[in-house]
Structure 1
């Protein structure tokens, strides 16, 4: 029987830290725990208050560890797709002369040569993207272990991101007492979870990640991440007028957007959807009130996305795939036909994590499993002996309860006490 491989992933979003713990067991992937903690130390994808973010990470970490019963030692970390650069390197390696068979060490040697490339002092390597193996003139994406050839060629996509941002995010995680297992661009992780790479053989896909402060547009084509652009406008801008006129908190504003209103002014009704008291005076909002304040802001956001993607739309078959926390707002479907290309919304289907805001955290698990094959890295997020001890403790408690049912045990206790 295969051992359980437990991993934890962290995304430092613009208003909260998200931690997901999952396990690969035989052929299954299971979610063990999801934790979130509010933070205020991130502005426009950059860390503005390091201690605030560190405290948020520690809070989610302690909550998860308390629930699971074992310590999380290392994590997968998502990094924002800011100033992303893509570079392609072709490298080669000659297999051992006696057998001419390709070994894993040959692939690792070629990959190490590729990742040593440094295009700019202002960026840092984050992801090894698409790898194509060329053996005897045949191109494949499958690692050609044991294939016979004179020379192995590899086309390697390398994805770099802003160096200052990479180190500031990594520093927060390390200050929280965690080791970083690997890093991954948030756009790349989302694409892994949503199977975007498989959809781009003959068309373009623009992945639209809607967060509170920003919207990240990522262009994918021919199974590769081609480009990223961050628009400094997110679903938070839709709420600006509402919050200014009502003095409600962002949390309440998001709840109103998420569940109780429509963005279609034609169908908005005068029914009351929210009542609260301010300075001893009762106030209320109708669905039409909220719609009239929000719908124009949403249309402005749509126009911004359309303008940013217009050159791509003109040059090929394009589809939008939307994800991120903004897609938790049900009414967004009312206005997406205003986009200048066909669209779809991706909602994760993993039990325990069916939340659009968790797309990045989920995608990091699959990205890491892909890299494991080449790296031959068997590290996990938790010490195996701690996990075994925790599971054993739970099993013993369950067995103890099963030996004498809970109700029977209580009844026996009452009768004995009466005597």
Structure 2
């Protein structure tokens, strides 16, 4: 069976849908699309009907292009209000001949979540960091290893219930079941960083429309997560303020002519205004200066978040996200942060936009967990290239209240952690 997964990334300005086939460590893109989103403000769903309509629109386009009817997706959840905890769970190996099996792994992961959360938060995902058998410590799932017991060290990601359940509800109301879920910061790292950087230390800056997420990874897991209330909107607003023009026109100029490149000439006139009977011309060089100043201010706020973990070392630092789609932004960021910065652009054919980084990373995340998810946990099956796509449906019961969402989400978690204590 071909391993084909669909990933939905619901953002404040766009909704992205990525459908990909995994072949060993490679990803083949079958469909990628982003459309404007509605009803979401600063990562929070304000108009459920509008969000559901957008999801149905982009899924329908995918269905038409691939000739199928999609039923399940993996979801990338915005990192707003996400929290990170460390846990560990230990269990006796009950499999035949004391060989570690899937049920043993699931039980150890479930036991690692045994701590008290606040009444307003719930678990998004439980991510294994390393496993311990009687004689070995390893990062890969130790299936088949002989051991009397199994211990799992985990990273547990939580989010506000209202935030989490609203996104789950939007997916469900759009007629889709949930394959898996994690936050965008962790998913992005799966695409952008090599494993060595995640061990040695790395910083990921995800610039969105109104917020930037700062994530620090070390020893193979996410250690620090914070939000700065700056994003691509602030760059647009800076242009609108400096040139006294509407935001929509400022956004157009940013997208069409925006760059942080220095040394541009004054010949390329972008905009002209009349002030006190005098014509004032604004050039691409003027636009570059406005953007450089705005990016410097943005990085100042981001640096304040990074300084919390500053120990004098320089870490591999990457910028991802649609808000970072600006030529030479990394040069300004390097100067402002005082350490080397790179803007990461995916090299995967069909998804080379910076805004697709979380969705691509989610594919790798699912691929890493496929032994736990099971062979049937795919979004689409393509047994024959000439045949119509069939779907593997993991149905979920529709719910209308937050309490019902809680119960349905618990059932989803029990799909992964179904072993009785």
Question: 1:25 and 1:292 mapped to 2: Cα distance?
Answer: 45
Q: 3-state SS of the aligned residue for 2:112?
A: helix
- Other-structure match for 1:108: 106
The 5 A counterparts of 1:42-81 are 42-81=40-79
CA distance in 2, matches of 1:385, 1:143: 28
Distance 1:283 1:180 in 2: 55
Q: Distance in 2 between matches of 1:350 and 1:130?
A: 26
Task: Map Cα deviations across residues 94-129 of structure 1 (whole Å, 9 max, x no partner).
Answer: 224972322222212222322454422221211222
The secondary structure found in structure 2 opposite 1:207 is: strand
Between the aligned partners of 2:355 and 2:376, the Cα distance in structure 1 is 28
- The structure 2 residue matched to 1:143, chosen from 138, 141, 144, is 141
Cα pair 1:262 1:268 within 8 Å, conserved: no
Q: Unmatched 5+ residue regions in structure 2?
A: 391-421
Between the aligned partners of 2:178 and 2:133, the Cα distance in structure 1 is 34
Task: Output the TM-score relative to the length of structure 2.
Answer: 0.83
Match of 2:395 in 1: none
Q: Which residue does 2:265 correspond to in 1?
A: 269
Partners of 1:133 and 1:140 within 8 A in 2: yes
Taking structure 1 as the reference length, what is the TM-score of the superposition? 0.83
Please give the per-residue CA displacement for 1:136-175, whole angstroms capped at 9, x wherever unaligned.
Answer: 2431112222322232222122111222111111111112
Distance in 2, Cα, partners of 1:391 & 1:162: 37
SS at match of 1:341: coil
Q: After superposition, what is the alpha-carbon deviation per residue over 1:22-54, rounded to whole angstroms, capped at 9, x for unaligned?
A: 112466421011111112322111112222222
Further displaced range: 53-62 or 146-155: 146-155
Q: Which residue of 2 aligns with 1:243?
A: 240
What root-mean-square deviation, in Å, do the aligned CA atoms of Structure 1 and Structure 2 show?
Answer: 2.7
Tell me if 1:286 matches 2:283: yes
Residue 351 of structure 1, CA deviation? 0.7
Task: Determine the C-alpha separation between the residues in 1 that align with 2:313 and 2:144.
Answer: 39
Give the corresponding residue for 2:209.
212
Equivalent position to 1:346, from 317, 323, 344: 344
Match of 2:315 among 307, 318, 321: 318
Q: Which residue of 2 aligns with 1:22?
A: 20
CA contact (8 A) 1:16 1:56 kept: no
Structure 1 pair 246/316, CA: closer, same or farther in 2 (3 Å)?
A: same
Q: Cα offset for 1:21?
A: 1.1
Larger deviation, residues 374-383 vs 214-223? 374-383
1:260 to 257, 260, 266: 257
Q: 1:377 to 1:292 in 2, by over 3 A?
A: same
